[in-house]
């Protein structure tokens, strides 16, 4: 079965430290990969995406993610965390099959940045 895994329910990091939120996927074909962020009582907001090309993609608010095909991973990173980064983060895969708009989301990782 095709799936997206976010192995950590919660990640705690001190302000100013680097952060990593992990995502691995298991899908057939070449997936399109996304990260979204959800702040309390809000909808999801797009952070970044990998479609093709450079394995390191840069996104909004200083976030970046590294696509690793051999490990089927797409971890989200930021060099220096801010308290305002505290939120719920979702990794998502759009299946690459043409003619479909199917998405699979991970279960989410709550990031807490401690002052």
Partner 1 sequence: EAQVTQNPRYLITVTGKKLTVTCSQNMNHEYMSWYRQDPGLGLRQIYYSMNVEATDKGDVPEGYKVSRKEKRNFPLILESPSPNQTSLYFCASSRKPPGGGSDEQFFGPGTRLTVL
Which parts of this chain interact with partner 1 (CB under 8 A)?
6, 32, 34, 36, 42-46, 49, 51-52, 90, 92, 94, 99-108
Residue 109 contacts residue 92 (beta carbons within 8 Å): no
Smallest gap from Cβ 30 to partner 1, in A, equals: 11
Angle at CA of residue 39, ends 38 and 41, nearest 5°:
105
**Among residues 20 and 60, whose Cβ is nearest to partner 1?**
60
End-to-end CA distance of the chain: 40
Calculate Rg over the CA atoms of the chain: 14
- Cβ of residue 103: shortest distance to partner 1, in angstroms? 5
What is the token pair recorded at 6? 């976010």
Complex with partner 1: residue 42 or 83, whichever CB lies closer = 42
Nearer to partner 1, 50 or 85 (CB): 50
């Amino acid at each position: 079965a095709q799936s997206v895994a976010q192995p950590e329910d919660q990640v705690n990091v001190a302000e100013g430290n680097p952060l990593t939120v992990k995502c691995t996927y298991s899908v057939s074909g070449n997936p399109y990969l996304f990260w979204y962020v959800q702040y309390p009582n809000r909808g999801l907001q797009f952070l970044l995406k990998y479609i093709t090309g450079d394995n390191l993609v840069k996104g909004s608010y200083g976030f970046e993610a590294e696509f690793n095909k051999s490990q089927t991973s797409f971890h989200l990173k930021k060099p220096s965390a801010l308290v305002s980064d505290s939120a719920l983060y979702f990794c998502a895969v759009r299946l690459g099959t043409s003619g479909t708009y199917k998405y699979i989301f991970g279960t989410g990782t709550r990031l807490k940045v401690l002052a």
